[in-house]
Amino acid sequence: QVQLVESGGGVVQPGWSLRLSCAASGFTFTNYGMHWVRQAPGKGLEWVSVISDDGNKKYYADSVKGRFTISRDNSKNTLYLQMNSLRTADTAVYFCAKDVAIYCGGECPPDYWGQGTLVTVSS
Amino acid sequence: SYVLTQPPSVSVAPGKTARITCGGNNIGSKNVHWYQQKPGQAPVMVVYENSDRPSGIPERFSGSNSGNTATLTISRVEAGDEADYYCQVWDTTSYHWVFGGGTKLTVL
């Protein structure tokens, strides 16, 4: 069964950095693109970033472009999100999710999602 | 950037049919995906590519997409269907994924 477990969340001050991880199991990680999606407290879903199965294609929401970097280590079945210059508006639960199909190049929607990790940016 | 518009809330009695809309410019030319999210839980995909159902999703959930409106239809609504529902599309112009604002379904 597919399992996605996020970690790395916490409380940080504005301007600080944080790296999130997502450990994947139960499927062939190297064949699937992966997403990060966030949800601010009491708000809707906001797509953050997606990376293709081979890591060569990466797309970002305008709100995080230039500050966040998505990456993956296929040898460790792990997805990452490096978050720099954090702002209070980045406070949210961050979900990782896998593409619904293989070899989509980032253009397939996510089907299975992790339970999320909370990032709080506050002074 | 591409915008998806959903009604904030929809209410329906048990056993009736709920319809949740997702509006966007010429959305009929795109593939629309739908998610259900219950409080404190991760989203679950309920409709894929306009009208397909992932494995394990009841046949009561169906979707359609034409013109400027996509619709998620839930037949024979049950109390357990009460949740937030989100539509999503891939914007080929900006290479962004876009979510609608979400619709809270209340079962009366």
In chain B, helix, strand, coil percent, each to 5?
5, 50, 45
- Whether A101 has its CB under 8 Å from any CB of chain B: the answer is no
CA-based end-to-end distance of chain A:
40
pLDDT of residue A106: 85
Both tokens of A60, joined, read 């970002």
Give the one of B41, B86, B90 whose C-beta lies nearest to A45's C-beta.
B86
- CA distances A6 to A9, A52, A113, B43, B97, Å, are 8, 19, 10, 15, 21
pLDDT digit string, tens, across residues A29-77: 999 999 999 999 999 999 999 999 999 999 999 999 999 999 999 999 9
Q: Which residues of A touch B84 (CB under 8 A)?
A: 44
Per-residue pLDDT, averaged over A2-13, amounts to 97
The length of chain B, given as a count of residues: 108
Contact A50, A72 (CB under 8 A): no
Give the Cβ contact number of residue A82 at 10 Å: 14
Residue A92 has pLDDT above 90, yes or no: yes
CB contact under 8 A, A111 and B88: no
Q: What are phi and psi of B29, to 5 degrees?
A: -90, 0
What CA–CA distance (Å, rounded) separates A55 from A47? 18
What CA–CA distance (Å, rounded) separates B73 from B68? 16
Give the one of B45, B90, B102 whose C-beta lies nearest to A111's C-beta.
B45
Give the one of A47, A100, A114 whose C-beta lies nearest to B97's C-beta.
A47
Please list the rounded mean pLDDT of every run of 10 residues in chain B (108 residues): 97 98 97 97 97 96 98 98 98 94 97
CB contact under 8 A, B54 and A116: no
Residue of B nearest to A62 (CA): B96
pLDDT of residue A65: 97
pLDDT of residue B99: 98
- Whether A114 has its CB under 8 Å from any CB of chain B: the answer is yes
What CA–CA distance (Å, rounded) separates B7 from B23? 9
Residue A101 has what DSSP assignment? S
What CA–CA distance (Å, rounded) separates B36 from B73? 12
